[in-house]
Copies of this chain bind each other. A is one copy, B any other.
């Protein structure tokens, strides 16, 4: 389904919005902030939706009905998100969960919906497979490694047909007990396997290497931290980079510093946005540590401005699915929260911050960050969205238009478990 132009047009700005925006302009009038530039930046910022987030995966405890039954219906869902928010113009496809049946059809649909195919995702933890136990690309059995490599190569081939330009590799490989696995051998096999995949990859593709300290394995994971990920990326070559999943860190990790250190080396591939309190909780981004998300965007903007690594070289994807309700509602919230953090970071007076750093006025540096963080940037985000063609209040529109009801009517009430 699509939302009609009339429906979209039925939501319009109130005077309140204009007064709020005006007040913001006034507030920042003497802070060297170019409001039009910021609004353009927000408009340009597009976050990919993973195909896995739309369906009813294994973790999801309960869901509303009307779930997409195949990749086409998932594209349809993203199309709806894009109509409402103008914040997501691409899908990041998981294989084998969302294997397209008819490529031409899928691509045509994507074209219609003006959606691109972002980075492809392979899998390493198919429960039924032998390689679930002691690994995929790092399995000690060469036959299983070859199978895992072939799977990744197949994903690349599919991605080529779809027009994707990158592959994200996350490996569940690891072990549960000391002695069970040989750290160096496993790492060596993993490197070899990744090299085969890297070399198979078209020259205009990027390989994005994820890391994760634990889960599903609970003693060791082959690529547990950014250090290992970046070692592998550097050994593979320039097109391999490190992907940061916000939920994949040990307690107390300073993630914004990792982002800066990766940019220092021009080694940051992009993000899986989510949030976490205890482990890989897959909370909605910013729902637990919104200030951390803001600080990460401060680093991203700063690294781009200073010429460390260009903003455009970075990929953005949502990776949150601990919802027990309507995934489209969660995704609208996620898109909004990420954009708010970004917008606040855009309001940081970087010149003054640098001055404070140089004069060592730490309290004033704190003030500068707080001034931006405490600002209510929703009018700015809203303005950018509406200028781009989206609606004033996407969640309200989603509910008023009763989109979920219509999806249930179209697709049925029952949940559709994915293959995975």
A283 interface contact, C-beta 8 A: yes
From the candidates B231, B261, B354, B361, name the one contacting A187 in the complex (CB within 8 A): B261
Beyond A176-B362, A363-B333, whether A289 also contacts B291 by CB under 8 A is yes
Tell me if B177 and A367 are in contact (CB < 8 A). no
Q: Which residues of B contact A127 (CB under 8 A)?
A: 61
The digit string for A364-396, where 1 denotes a CB below 8 A from any CB of B, is: 011111100111101000000000000000010
- The residues in A between 81 and 101 inclusive whose CB is less than 8 angstroms from any CB of B are none
What number of copies of this chain does the assembly contain? 4
Tell me if B261 and A228 are in contact (CB < 8 A). yes
The digit string for A133-155, where 1 denotes a CB below 8 A from any CB of B, is: 11000001000000000000000
* Shortest CB distance A234–B (Å): 8
When C-beta atoms are compared, the residue in chain B nearest to A219 turns out to be: B277
Q: Which residues of B contact A323 (CB under 8 A)?
A: 362-363
Q: Which residues of B contact A291 (CB under 8 A)?
A: 288-291
When C-beta atoms are compared, the residue in chain B nearest to A309 turns out to be: B184
Q: Which residues of B contact A184 (CB under 8 A)?
A: 260-261, 263-264, 302-303, 306, 308
Number of interface residues of A (CB under 8 A): 100
* Shortest CB distance A372–B (Å): 10
State the CA gap A323–B182 with chains docked (Å).
Answer: 18
Tell me if A176 and B253 are in contact (CB < 8 A). no
* Shortest CB distance A366–B (Å): 5
Q: Which residues of B contact A260 (CB under 8 A)?
A: 183-184, 187
State the CA gap A258–B84 with chains docked (Å).
Answer: 40
A193 interface contact, C-beta 8 A: no
Beyond A288-B291, A366-B179, whether A224 also contacts B61 by CB under 8 A is no
From the candidates B230, B263, B340, name the one contacting A231 in the complex (CB within 8 A): B230
- The residues in A between 170 and 216 inclusive whose CB is less than 8 angstroms from any CB of B are 175-184, 187-188, 213-215
* Shortest CB distance A295–B (Å): 5
Tell me if B261 and A231 are in contact (CB < 8 A). yes
Query: Among A15-23, A35-43, A108-116, A158-166, which stretch is in contact with chain B?
Result: A15-23
* Shortest CB distance A352–B (Å): 10
